[in-house]
Each structure stands twice: as C-alpha cells, then as structure tokens.
Structure 1
Amino acid sequence: MSENTAALKALLLEKSVRTGEFTLASGKKSDLYIDCRVTAMDPFGAALIGELGWAAVREKIVADNLSIQSIGGMTLGADPISLSIGMASARRNPDEALQVYTVRKEPKGHGAGKQIEGNFASGQNVIVVDDVITTGGSTLKAIDVIEKAGGTVKFAIVLVDREEGGRQAIEERGIEVIPLFTRTTLLS
C-alpha cells in the first residue's frame, strides 16, 4: 500500500466511517455508514483523492487507449471527488486535463433547465464518479442522464465500493467500475 493510499485510508476511517445501525439512502439497513463527503471536502483528503484518483483514471485511459473529455457524477457526493481528480489531471498532465461537470438530481426549474452543469457537451466521452456505491442506484441514474444528454460513459470511478451488489449492477450495463477502496480493503 502506497503512502498516499495509507494516508487516505486513515483519513476515511477517522472522518467518514461509522459503525452501528443505519438506514442508507437505498433504504437498506446496514452496520456501516460511510460519509465520504467529510473526507472529500477536507483539503488533505481532497489532495489525496485527486492524486490517487488521477493515477487510477490515467492508468485506465492509457491501458484502454481512451479519449476522455470530462469527469463528474451525481451532486453532491461526486462533486468534490470529480474536481479533485480534474485538478490533479491539470497539474500532472496538462495536455490530458479533464474538465469537470455535475449531474443534478432533477433538471433545473429555471433558466436553460439543464440537468448537467459545468463542462459537459453532447458527444463527449466521460467518466462517471460516485463517492460510495451500495446498490449502484445513484451512479446508474447519473449514467442515464449523461447518456440521454448525448454523452458516452467509458467507465466509473468510486471512492468506496461497499461490496453490496452496486458494482455488479453498473458493470452489467457494460461500464467498468474502478474503486479506490472496497469495504474489505478499507476495513482490513
């Protein structure tokens, strides 16, 4: 385990992981609650997520010879992760810098009525981001919105895969999921 991976794991365990009895967004009951926003909005956590996330994303882009224009996902969980990875891409590989977008839960009720905000355009190849995957529902919703708007999701990156079937549900759609951590690796 790299020094950055160990540091991010420690920060996640300190700030974002709670045990007890919880009802998740999916409605499922769980003994584990992970609020990645607390870590992703910490400046040290954001820096670590950016570096580790960009390394994982770039490895996939190079291995599969992909052309990717932007990165984003469902607001609010994906926003700081997407921005951190986008910033790291600009810092490390300026010629390959990823633009960042966000997917609203519902289309905007005024103005242009957009559901995707930021640096996204129809025809782009994109990466979809989520903070935590349980059932995969919010990631799949983001994918649906992106595809409806004319984007092509090449793969997904997630901070933590809870290993409760969500990754499989997304991969059944033909979209590979790259987790920085799984429940197993985070808690071991």
Structure 2
Amino acid sequence: MLQITADLKALLLKKSVRTGTFTLASGKQSDLYIDCRMTAMDPFGAALIGELGWHAVRSKIHSEKLSIQAIGGMTLGADPISLAIGMASARNHPEEALQVFTVRKEPKGHGAGKQIEGNFTPGQNIVVVDDVITTGGSTLKAIDAIERDGGVVKFAIVLVDREEGGREAIEARGIHVIPLFTRSTLLS
C-alpha cells in the first residue's frame, strides 16, 4: 500500500492541487484549491483510488465487524471515487463487493423524482464518500438524503480532508471519517 499511496499522492499533487487565491464552495477564501476530479477521472488515478480506498474501507469493515452493502455520495465529486472503490471491491473480494449509487443535489423533477440513483436500497448499511471536505456541508447533505431514504450510514471515506473543521462536523453526527489524505499529509 505504501507505493500506491505514494503514487496517488504524486498524481494528486500533479493534477489536482493548485495554490493561489480561491473562493471555495463554502464561500471561504483559501490559498489552496484541490480539484480531485482531475485525479479521480484519470484512469490511473481511479485505479489507485480504488485500491487504496478499498483497502481502507475493508480494514474498517473487518476491524469493526461491519456489514456494508453499498457506497456512494454527492454527485459529482463522489461518483468516480465510489465507482473506483466498488470496482476494486468486486475485483479483489467479490464476496464483499459493494454496490454503488449517487446522491443528486436535489430530487429529480421528473420520472420517479428520486434524489438517490443507482444501486441503493432502503435498509442498506452505507459508506458515504466525498472527494474533498472543508466544512463537511456536502457530505452532511448526502448523509441527510441517504438517511431520509432509509440508508444507514456506518462511516465516511474522503480522498482529501482540508483540515478546516469538516471532519469534526461529520464526526459530531457520530459518523467516523477516514481520510485517504489530509492537507498536512498531502502537502508534506
């Protein structure tokens, strides 16, 4: 896992991390912008995220003897990460393969009017995913939608925790967060 971690860190730094002055989704100003989609939608990045993410998820499942059926989060940031981890679970441990779903920002205005699309069923134990957490707002919005539709969120996995209070906000809801990288580990 050390080589996968090093390779993913290098790719994130090359493709996803920018310094300067940026306005974040939260409205806050920052000297750091992290666009994880550039890495997560790269085929090599997706493969690395899948392996490292599945290793982290599977370790948590086994250490706490959890039963998890599905993985997903708020579109668009969580989508490639959820799929990569789901694919790695099916490839490496088919008996533990995770189904993948996505949470829309708002329920669809037509058809069945669903907010959650894909392989989600009420009553499932869920791992919620986000690409980057700053305040935790989008992750909490996804958790609210999942719980409202009958899912049971067991824990969260995030590609990068910016270490700006988001992890603490999510954990205040009783949902443990596993970051693959933090701002500190990514930039060290």
**For residues 106-121 of structure 1, what are the structure 2 equivalents within 5 Å?**
106-121=106-121
Residue 178 (structure 2) pairs with residue 185 (structure 1): no
Give me the identity figure in percent.
83
**For residues 35-184 of structure 1, what are the structure 2 equivalents within 5 Å?**
35-184=35-184
Q: Structure 1: which 5+ runs fail to align? A: none
RMSD: 0.6
Give 1:181's aligned amino acid.
Answer: F
Q: Structure 2: which 5+ runs fail to align? A: none
TM-score by length of 2: 0.99
Per-residue CA deviations over 1:38-91 (Å, capped at 9, x if unaligned) read: 000000000000000000000000000000000000000000000000000000
Per-residue CA deviations over 1:79-126 (Å, capped at 9, x if unaligned) read: 000000000000000000000000000000100000000000111100
Per-residue CA deviations over 1:151-185 (Å, capped at 9, x if unaligned) read: 00000000000000000000000000000000000
Which residue is equivalent to 1:2?
Answer: 2
Per-residue CA deviations over 1:125-150 (Å, capped at 9, x if unaligned) read: 00000000000000000000000000
CA distance in 1, matches of 2:98, 2:39: 22
CA distance in 2, matches of 1:26, 1:39: 22
> What secondary structure, in the 3-state scheme, does the structure 2 residue paired with 1:79 have?
helix
Give 1:175's aligned amino acid.
Answer: I
Give 1:78's aligned amino acid.
Answer: A
CA distance in 1, matches of 2:131, 2:25: 13
Once the 2 structures are TM-superposed, how far is the Cα of residue 24 of structure 1 from its aligned partner? 0.2
Could you list the structure 1 runs, at least 4 aligned residues long, displaced by more than 3 angstroms after superposition.
none
CA distance in 2, matches of 1:116, 1:69: 15
TM-score by length of 1: 0.99
CA distance in 1, matches of 2:70, 2:26: 27
Once the 2 structures are TM-superposed, how far is the Cα of residue 2 of structure 1 from its aligned partner? 0.5
Once the 2 structures are TM-superposed, how far is the Cα of residue 23 of structure 1 from its aligned partner? 0.1
Once the 2 structures are TM-superposed, how far is the Cα of residue 35 of structure 1 from its aligned partner? 0.1
Give the total of aligned pairs.
Answer: 188
Give 2:32's aligned amino acid.
Answer: L
Give 1:12's aligned amino acid.
Answer: L
